[in-house]
Structure 1
Amino acid sequence: MTQLAEIVGNQSLVKGIPLSEEEGIGALTLGSFLKEVSTRYADREAAVMRTGDSAQRWSYQDLWNDSVRLARALVAKGVTKGTRVGILATNRYEFLTSTFGTALAGGVATTMNTFSTAAELEILLESSACSVLLFERKVLKKDFADILIELEPQLKSCAPGELRSRKFPFLRHLSMMDSESGEGGIEGWEAFQACADETPMALIDSILENVVPADPGVLFFSSGSTGKPKGILSAHRGVCLQMWRWRQWLQFGDDVRSWSANGFFFSGNFAWALGSTLSAGGSMILQPTFQAEEALSLIEQEKVTFIAAWPHQWAQLTDAKNWNDVDLSSLVYIDKNSPVAAHPTVNSNWVDAQKAYGNTETFTISSMFPANTPDDIAAGTHGIPVAGNTFKIVDPLTGEIKPIGESGEIAVKGPTLMLNYIGIPMDDVLDDEGFFRTGDGGFFDERGRLHWEGRINDIIKTGGANVSPVEIDIVLAKCPGVKVTKTVGVPDELLGEIVVSCIVPVDGAEITEDQVRNFAKEKLAAFKVPRRVLFFAEDELEMTGSAKVKAKELIEQAVQRLAAEKT
């Protein structure tokens, strides 16, 4: 059989092609990326937002002009090279202009999850040290202006730009992108941008020339085993490489019209959905929050050719009331084996680029087989290293490299690897050879293909999001009636894993599953709230020598409990 990637000796040390041999890569800073695509595709439609029967549309030239205007306002507000600009928004046009505007001003776009509770947002603001926060006020039932004022009461009485907070000492300017009226120290959107004329365009041009690919470009957050979100700082080069690559991996033509309601504040969706579309000169059909019936209508009305959705959303789409009434024949880039491809109006032979592996730390994909790779090459594997990447499989304890075919911990390094976790020295993160130890288990076969086997650590991957069980247990430990709590991921066909909290109640306490879940809802984002809560006697839990609950055995017990409920 043909070897597909370079294997060094008989060790599990496997390399992708040299970065210099990769084709189809353009500008490598976010500002230059936008300039390149907006120049190349100036009059094409870049984004669409529908409200009822009306639609607002923006061209690539509009996207450039509006991003430049925001950049000029940010510079007038004091943003300079390396300044962090928080962006708290759903998939709306202003997310795009805020992100690219920050890059054009020399700043670091710092994306924040709109599922965040007040407690989680407080952590994000404190750890990110952003100087500017651009946010969407109303997201479903949340009012982020009210939440921010609750976190920092000074905002209610101070004037815009005059916030001097001990809790958020770097935060100076806040603006609501979905409101023209301000409140206290929070400005409306137009008022915030009104100072753009104070910054000459020549200065933006100069900033663009003086931001280099190695500079920090974005700060994304991912759940970690410490129980708090990890801030992952990435260089412009890593982000842009992935944005150019995704178009090639998906084999998009210039006809692509993409829909996704997954937040662009997730690195995966930023590179996968947004990057692939813009690098192809396509149109992004924006839906701020996922509503299945509305999504199907958007796909039909806007002649969507590609949907970036997670499996649990596919199920909601096929179960939607209007599933049998819509025409989805525009879908060209839809995996022929997906539930959506079973719609009677869809005729697809396309196979998605799903045989892949990656992490937020590598700004998504680090090994990949592109779309339409034959099954005899890709089946059952997670790709080969992408250009410039080197993998090794090591013994988790000794760090020694395993022979080909033997399982161990996946370690990787390459051009998209993060600059660092904020607040953590890199020598605490990388090994002596500069590899990032992922905490995931797997092996390479004799053809250089990666086989991912699951995680050595406890991070739960549910519906495309990473969830820290430690973070959940910290919250549930404060729930009345809870003595011991251990949260695990239980395999699930739809979501990959579901979050299950296993609890030992305080002796004599009467506590219900609904009580625990309702307590969690007050403190945690919706996707972190346990889908199920199971109760155990203390002697039912197997413990380690250091008095920790054995996760593997507990998962098996949880699986058995849940299976028994179905019989």
Structure 2
Amino acid sequence: MGTETNAESVRTLSIVSGPPLSAEPGLGQLTLPGFLREVTALYGEREALVMRTAEGTTRWTYTELWERAVEVARCLRACGVGKDSRVGVLMTNRAEWIAAVFGTSLAGGVAVTLSTFSTPPELEHLLQVSCVSVLLFERRVPKKDLAAVLSELEPEIGKASPGTLRSAKFPFLRRLAMVGDALPDETIDTWDAFLAHGHEESRELVEATAAAVRPSDAAVLFFSSGSTSRPKGVLSAHRGVAIQLWRFRRMYGFAPQDGIRCWTANGFFWSGNFAMGLGTTFASGGSLVLQSTFAATEALELMQAERVNFPLAWPHQWAQLESAPNWSQVDLSSVRFADSRTPIAQHPTVSGQWHEPGSAYGNTETFTITTCFPANTPSEVTAGSSGEPLPGVVVKIIDPLTGDVVERGERGEICVKSPTLMLSYLGTPLDETLDAEGFFPTGDGGHLDANGRLFWEGRLTDIIKTGGANVSPLEVDDALSACPGVKVARTVGVAHETLGEVVTACVVPREGAGLEPGEILAFLRERLASYKVPRHVLFFRDEEITLTGSAKIKSSDLRELAAVRLRGQPPTRRPG
């Protein structure tokens, strides 16, 4: 009855650790005030951002960005903001957004980033649960006058004096200010009027406040994208946010001599764009080329005029750029850092081969990435994975029913420990979110291979269970995206009496593609096992696919829409 020593008999569990955080190169100051102070010291007179509007062009150096953030901080302190006070920032990507978020941190407060995509009921909910005491917003965003929206939500705004509020509906909200034209009744402060409140506030006091911020202090409150439910408030510490701002510079492999000029129109109120776009650019001494709202034609002109070399976009935006009427006319020869798989890398004026650190996995709860491979990692190393654990990170895969760690290679729920893990969900103690070992159960499905690489397979709730087999919609989506004529694809499971669910492909075709279900299915049958091939193919228009602000498709909405379409409709005929 001896102990078995045969290597084949040893169970390898699905748990893997990255290097210690202390071994991570390139980390600087681990607070937002410290980060901004450090990059200002390093890159002072280099351009930090440029914003073109109908009123003119704004360009700030790093020194000017620091001064604008100090200006906001002085005003916030004059308005009573102190340690842990929450300041809402409700704007598109613009210079004032960046000054407001960093200014809040310099004042010791917590920046609450709010989505301009929010409907009035959603905004009401966000303001109530976030408990902001000051709201800084942009008056006019696409299709909305936010001053009018806020005044409808609470007519008492500005009744006592401009920009003030005493409200039972929003009991913590005391002051509002906006970027944009003044209101006729002047019930809300303009940006200039707001900043004037801080002129008498001591600059030395702001500097001292910024220096007193600690890495463990609360820094930001971001909201998840709400693809399946109401957005969750995710409270993060300075340490976690700053680690990711520095880390992305290393993952992209950028240095000051690269002269990074990053264009993006994706909201900085999503943690991914904040860390990838703003963090990577500032950490490497580059310049942000801001576009407040995505418009493909304008974006291409902006990239050309500002000699952008690092464009960041979501897949649906790449498709729109490629379809823009000026696509073939613009000069994009400055672009150097665009993944070779994106349409912009195939533009006739773009040359060179570059691969982004796209083999990655992360969550808002960990302020983005926990696993990743650096840019230009060979494909034989990434192997289609979502990367390997980053410094300080531990990943395990558990059986979601029993909580037991599964064997290596088995599928289960991804759980992570990370130095960038959130302080808590808003209103929920952290011990009610983590398991007994301190891991965060992500709700995502995946597995670890023998080399410790993570393979993400989508939300556990999105896994399609059909006829006793499990189908990953991501695998089908990947195959669909390679099909000629397919612009956007999302696979969902629709309830079925005998099979449980049926695999259903929802496709937005490219303009003029003339796709037929049969040719799509024929294409997929060459690439997927028969049980993974969709039983139905449904065609949609762009506007019928509901996206969150971070370009995640709302799978619950799409599943419901697909179910309505399929009622009384026979299955798509399969070829072969």
Checking the alignment, whether the CA contact within 8 Å between 2:395 and 2:414 is kept in structure 1 is yes
User: In structure 2, do the counterparts of structure 1 residues 13 and 83 end up closer, same or farther at CA, with 3 Å as the change threshold?
Assistant: same
Checking the alignment, whether the CA contact within 8 Å between 1:176 and 1:186 is kept in structure 2 is yes
Distance 2:346 2:169 in 1: 52
Cross-structure match for 2:442: 438
Cross-structure match for 1:187: 189
Structure-to-structure mapping, 1:423-462, within 5 angstroms = 423-458=427-462
Structure-to-structure mapping, 1:340-379, within 5 angstroms = 340-379=344-383
User: In structure 2, do the counterparts of structure 1 residues 114 and 498 end up closer, same or farther at CA, with 3 Å as the change threshold?
Assistant: farther
Cross-structure match for 2:13: 11
What are the ranges of 5 or more consecutive residues in structure 2 without an aligned counterpart?
1-9, 465-472, 482-486, 497-538
Cross-structure match for 2:332: 328
Checking the alignment, whether the CA contact within 8 Å between 1:130 and 1:170 is kept in structure 2 is yes
Distance 1:259 1:12 in 2: 39
Provide the secondary structure at the position in 2 that maps to 1:198: coil
User: By how many angstroms is 1:282 displaced?
Assistant: 0.2
Distance 2:79 2:159 in 1: 20
Distance 1:565 1:294 in 2: 42
Counterpart selection for 1:497 from 490, 493, 503 = 490
Checking the alignment, whether the CA contact within 8 Å between 1:501 and 1:530 is kept in structure 2 is no
Deviates more, 1:415-424 or 1:161-170: 161-170
User: By how many angstroms is 1:161 displaced?
Assistant: 5.2
Letter of the aligned partner of 2:490 in structure 1?
E
Provide the secondary structure at the position in 2 that maps to 1:170: coil
Cross-structure match for 2:107: 105
User: In structure 2, do the counterparts of structure 1 residues 495 and 434 end up closer, same or farther at CA, with 3 Å as the change threshold?
Assistant: farther
Deviates more, 1:254-263 or 1:335-344: 335-344
Cross-structure match for 1:474: none
Listed one character per residue, the Cα deviations across residues 21-76 of structure 1 (whole Å, up to 9, x for unaligned) are 01100011101111111111110000011135953211111100010000000000
Checking the alignment, whether the CA contact within 8 Å between 2:412 and 2:445 is kept in structure 1 is yes
Letter of the aligned partner of 2:33 in structure 1?
G
Provide the secondary structure at the position in 2 that maps to 1:71: helix
Structure-to-structure mapping, 1:255-274, within 5 angstroms = 255-274=259-278
Instruction: Tell me how many residue pairs correspond in the alignment.
Output: 498
User: In structure 2, do the counterparts of structure 1 residues 402 and 17 end up closer, same or farther at CA, with 3 Å as the change threshold?
Assistant: same
Checking the alignment, whether the CA contact within 8 Å between 2:164 and 2:188 is kept in structure 1 is no
Deviates more, 1:489-498 or 1:141-150: 489-498
Cross-structure match for 2:45: 43
Counterpart selection for 1:313 from 296, 310, 317 = 317
User: By how many angstroms is 1:90 displaced?
Assistant: 0.5
User: By how many angstroms is 1:424 displaced?
Assistant: 1.0
User: In structure 2, do the counterparts of structure 1 residues 126 and 29 end up closer, same or farther at CA, with 3 Å as the change threshold?
Assistant: same
What are the ranges of 5 or more consecutive residues in structure 1 without an aligned counterpart?
1-7, 461-487, 504-512, 541-556
Is 1:394–2:398 an aligned residue pair? Answer: yes
User: In structure 2, do the counterparts of structure 1 residues 100 and 163 end up closer, same or farther at CA, with 3 Å as the change threshold?
Assistant: same
User: In structure 2, do the counterparts of structure 1 residues 499 and 145 end up closer, same or farther at CA, with 3 Å as the change threshold?
Assistant: farther
Q: What TM-score does the superposition give when structure 2 sets the normalisation length?
A: 0.81
Letter of the aligned partner of 1:40 in structure 2?
L
User: By how many angstroms is 1:156 displaced?
Assistant: 5.6
Provide the secondary structure at the position in 1 that maps to 2:12: coil
Structure-to-structure mapping, 1:95-494, within 5 angstroms = 95-155=97-157, 157-160=159-162, 162-180=164-182, 183=185, 185-223=187-225, 227-254=229-256, 255-458=259-462, 491=477, 493=481, 494=487
Distance 1:538 1:330 in 2: 47
Cross-structure match for 1:533: 561
Provide the secondary structure at the position in 2 that maps to 1:157: coil
Distance 2:564 2:292 in 1: 40
Listed one character per residue, the Cα deviations across residues 239-263 of structure 1 (whole Å, up to 9, x for unaligned) are 1100001111111232110000000
Provide the secondary structure at the position in 1 that maps to 2:267: coil
Checking the alignment, whether the CA contact within 8 Å between 1:174 and 1:185 is kept in structure 2 is no
Checking the alignment, whether the CA contact within 8 Å between 1:27 and 1:240 is kept in structure 2 is yes
Distance 2:151 2:336 in 1: 46
Checking the alignment, whether the CA contact within 8 Å between 2:75 and 2:194 is kept in structure 1 is yes
User: In structure 2, do the counterparts of structure 1 residues 52 and 502 end up closer, same or farther at CA, with 3 Å as the change threshold?
Assistant: farther
User: In structure 2, do the counterparts of structure 1 residues 526 and 334 end up closer, same or farther at CA, with 3 Å as the change threshold?
Assistant: closer
Checking the alignment, whether the CA contact within 8 Å between 2:227 and 2:553 is kept in structure 1 is no
Distance 1:143 1:564 in 2: 48
Cross-structure match for 1:546: none
User: Percent same amino acid among aligned pairs?
Assistant: 51
Listed one character per residue, the Cα deviations across residues 128-179 of structure 1 (whole Å, up to 9, x for unaligned) are 0000000001001100000001000111633235411111000001000223
Checking the alignment, whether the CA contact within 8 Å between 2:245 and 2:280 is kept in structure 1 is yes
User: By how many angstroms is 1:186 displaced?
Assistant: 1.7
Checking the alignment, whether the CA contact within 8 Å between 1:502 and 1:533 is kept in structure 2 is no
Distance 1:91 1:565 in 2: 46
User: In structure 2, do the counterparts of structure 1 residues 269 and 48 end up closer, same or farther at CA, with 3 Å as the change threshold?
Assistant: same
Provide the secondary structure at the position in 2 that maps to 1:457: helix
Checking the alignment, whether the CA contact within 8 Å between 2:71 and 2:198 is kept in structure 1 is yes
Cross-structure match for 1:479: none
Provide the secondary structure at the position in 2 that maps to 1:340: helix
Letter of the aligned partner of 2:174 in structure 1?
R
Q: What TM-score does the superposition give when structure 1 sets the normalisation length?
A: 0.82
Checking the alignment, whether the CA contact within 8 Å between 2:33 and 2:211 is kept in structure 1 is no
Letter of the aligned partner of 1:380 in structure 2?
G
